């Protein structure tokens, strides 16, 4: 048979066993009698493989797997509670998201480490995870969040103490010290590494340049890597035992999967809420809610607003009607006054006519040469009076139109008169000044002439006595 055919056959067998594993695991957990018949000789041979440690009694590999799973559960519960308390205490979205990511990463890594195929390697992976995680919290967590993360750091330190106490059951003191030195060396080489969930013991050792050599020293931690839990079993029993353990690990991880999924969903929601687009959507939603609230309040106030506007409109119309009614009353009153005046004028005219008609009855009767009374003369007189009234109205209108012009003319005349008075005043002042100056000049001239005339009348002066 060729090498290719052999590889295909081995691959088919492994695939068949992996597909058959979950079904056999279900049968194993349900206590199927047929499965117990097949695995009855296995426990005795498996329990015979024990770890040589400083503790008494020594732990078996099968018991070590159970202890690793239990420790993973307790570790995840403690870290999750501490992370939740830290997020609530910090109160910021950044701290809450960091706490959620931390507990999700630690839980996923712990369950992954606990469900590996080799229980010894699983225990070593748990040791590395817990120790390195505490270092990350001390370095990065305290620097980022300060004193708020101290309670969570205390929980991680306690879990680190517990995991090293658990290591006493399968590691010697020399092996524990070797592992601690390796952890310290790795941290010095990677001081800024924050994501340590995927860190495993084999990759961890390879990263610091320590690869296992075969055969390894009995006191070396690498000697534990060559322990085979299924050593000494025939191939059929080994396949059945491996399938049973695979079913147990699958069931263990499956039972904790809903919790991981819920935390993953919560973290996704927090991350989406922290995106700028999500914040904008939330802001728009808040604005929409505010607008809806304002619209609802406006809708509630709309009937009252309509009633107020209706009352205002009716009141405005009524006020306009009252104003028009007042104007109408004033007009009617003016018309009544005009009618009264016309009636008085008619009565006066009537009295005047009666007075004129009855003033000289004898002369009318006795005078035969005069013209008889004709009512048309009164019509003509009335027409002339109307024409005179129209002329008077035109004259008044002309006077009213000329009044502004007359006022302007009066103002101009007043201004001209004032200017003339001012000019006359200053001219008078100038004349008075000229008169005074002339009078002063005449007086000075008169004084000079008088002095000269007096000197001439007196004659020349007498010579001094003794002069020849």
CA pair distance 269, 265, nearest whole angstrom: 6
pLDDT of residue 13: 42
Which one, of 15, 145, 143, lies nearest residue 91 by Cα? 145
Q: Among 7-21, 38-52, 132-146, 383-397, which is the least confidently predicted range?
A: 38-52
pLDDT, tens only, 202-253: 777 777 777 665 556 667 777 777 666 676 677 888 788 888 888 888 999 9
pLDDT of residue 39: 35
- Annotated domain spans of the chain: 49-233
CA pair distance 132, 198, nearest whole angstrom: 11
pLDDT at 55 over 50: no
Confidence class of residue 261 from pLDDT cuts 50, 70 and 90?
A: very high
pLDDT of residue 272: 80
Do 171 and 113 meet the contact criterion of CB atoms below 8 Å apart? no
Q: Among 74-78, 109-113, 323-327, 354-358, which is the least confidently predicted range?
A: 354-358
Q: Among 102-106, 204-208, 434-438, which is the least confidently predicted range?
A: 204-208
CA pair distance 436, 28, nearest whole angstrom: 154
- For residue 218, count other CB atoms closer than 10 A to its CB: 10
pLDDT of residue 280: 66
Is the pTM of the predicted complex or chain greater than 0.75? no
CA pair distance 316, 309, nearest whole angstrom: 10
């Amino acid at each position: 048979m060729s090498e290719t055919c052999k590889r295909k056959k081995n691959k088919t067998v492994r695939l068949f066993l992996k597909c058959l594993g979950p079904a056999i695991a279900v049968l194993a957990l349900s206590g199927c009698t047929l499965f117990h018949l097949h695995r009855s000789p296995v426990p005795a041979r498996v329990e015979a493989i024990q770890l040589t440690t400083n503790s008494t009694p020594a732990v078996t590999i099968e018991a070590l797997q159970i202890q690793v799973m239990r420790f993973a559960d307790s570790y995840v519960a403690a870290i999750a509670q501490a992370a939740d308390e830290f997020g609530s205490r910090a109160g910021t979205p950044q701290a809450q998201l960091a706490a959620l990511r931390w507990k999700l990463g630690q839980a996923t890594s712990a369950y992954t480490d606990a469900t590996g195929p080799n229980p010894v390697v699983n225990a070593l992976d748990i040791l590395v995870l817990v120790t390195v995680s505490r270092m990350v919290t001390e370095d990065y967590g305290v620097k980022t969040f300060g004193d708020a993360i101290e309670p969570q750091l205390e929980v991680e330190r306690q879990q680190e103490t517990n995991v090293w106490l658990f290591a006493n059951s399968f590691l010697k003191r020399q092996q524990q010290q070797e592992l601690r030195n390796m952890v310290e060396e790795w941290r010095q080489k990677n001081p800024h590494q924050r994501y340590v969930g995927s860190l495993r013991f084999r990759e961890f050792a390879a990263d610091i340049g320590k690869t296992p050599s075969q055969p390894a020293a009995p006191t070396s931690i690498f000697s534990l890597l060559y322990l085979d839990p299924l050593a000494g079993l025939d191939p059929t029993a080994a396949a059945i035992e491996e399938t049973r353990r695979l079913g147990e690990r699958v069931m263990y991880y499956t039972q904790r999967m809903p919790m991981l999924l819920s935390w993953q969903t919560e973290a996704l929601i927090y991350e989406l809420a922290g995106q700028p687009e999500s914040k904008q959507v939330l802001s728009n939603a808040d604005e929409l809610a505010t607008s809806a609230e304002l619209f609802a309040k406006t809708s509630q106030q709309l009937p009252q607003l309509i009633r107020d506007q209706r009352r205002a409109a009716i009141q405005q119309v009524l006020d306009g009607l009252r104003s028009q009614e007042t104007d109408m009353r004033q007009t009617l009153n003016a018309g009544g006054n005009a009618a009264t005046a016309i009636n008085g004028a008619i009565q006066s005219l009537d009295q005047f006519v009666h007075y004129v008609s009855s003033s000289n009855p004898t002369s009318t009767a006795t005078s035969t040469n005069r013209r008889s009374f004709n009512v048309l003369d009164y019509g003509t007189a009335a027409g002339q009076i109307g024409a005179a009234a129209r002329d008077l109205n035109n004259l008044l209108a002309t006077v009213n139109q000329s009044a502004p012009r007359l006022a302007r003319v009066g103002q101009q005349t007043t201004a001209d008169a004032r200017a003339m008075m001012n000019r006359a005043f200053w001219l008078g002042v100038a004349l008075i000044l000229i008169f005074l100056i002339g009078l002063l000049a005449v007086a000075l001239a008169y004084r000079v002439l008088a002095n000269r005339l007096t000197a001439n009348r007196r004659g020349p002066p007498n010579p001094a006595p003794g002069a020849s």
